[in-house]
Amino acid sequence: MPETNILRIGNPILRQKSDLVADITSEETKNIVQKMFDTMKAANGAGLAAPQIGLLSRIIVFGLDKNPRYPDAETVPMTVLINPEYEVIDKEEEAAWEGCLSIPGMRGKVYRPKEIVYTAYTTNGERIERTAKGFHARVFLHEFDHLDGVLYPDRIKNVADFGYIEELEQAGLIPKVEE
């Protein structure tokens, strides 16, 4: 089962800094990206970073159609980003509940900048630049953090805003989630 390939919090690999990808257009890079999409989809995830499957490479994938894990989120285009970078456009922060495939069954309230612009390369070696806000910016920033060994609980301001999905649902803090 692909989901069992996802490293979970506590694994020291998730705390390491990933390396820049030297050969962006190589077959190897394409294979990694394919494996990441397959793994993400099998787990119903909205995003995945290479360290989560044990590879310390600066590659992230994300995208959201309609996702049962995030019933209220707006859609985000299916995206692969190699060697991503970003700048904050609107540094005012907004809070939302985040989850992570490396921290199954839990959610935490995280503050992130409202709007960013990110740049990266695709597997064709094309450079892309996109402005993103709301959930799109959030999912980018969450995945980008993974490349620097940062996990979302590190960014929770109040530890009371962290818990099991079932408990948070019952408390009415998050909408009903199907994992």
* Options 143, 169, 178, 179, the catalytic residue: 143
Contact 98, 163 (CB under 8 A): no
**Which of 69/133 has CB closer to Ni ion?**
69
Q: Please, which residue, 121 or 152, has the CB nearer to Ni ion?
A: 152
Residue 61: C-alpha distances to residues 65, 82, 105, 120, 142 (Å):
14, 9, 21, 11, 11
Select 100 or 141, whichever has its Cβ closest to Ni ion.
100
Using Cβ positions, the residue closest to Ni ion within the complex turns out to be 100
Signed CA dihedral, 20, 64, 153, 91: sign only: positive
CA distance 176 to 172: 9
- Compute how many residues bind Ni ion; rule: CB under 5 A: 1
Q: Which residues contact 99 (CB under 8 A, 6 or more apart)?
A: 69, 70, 106, 107, 165, 177
Return the half-sphere exposure (C-beta side, CA atoms, 13 A cut-off) of residue 22. 0
Binding of Ni ion at residue 80 (CB under 5 A)?
Answer: no
CB nearer to Ni ion: pick between 76 and 100: 100
What part of residues 101-120 is at the interface with Ni ion (CB under 5 A)? none
Site for Ni ion in 144-173 (CB under 5 A): none
Least separation in angstroms between residue 169's CB and Ni ion is: 20
User: 100, 110, 139, 177: which one contacts Ni ion (CB under 5 A)?
Assistant: 100
**Cα distance between residue 78 and residue 62, in whole Å:** 6
Residue 141 engages Ni ion in binding (rule: CB under 5 A) = no
Assess whether 178 carries a catalytic annotation.
Answer: no
Q: So which residues are the catalytic ones?
A: 143
State the residues that interact with Ni ion by CB under 5 A. Answer: 100
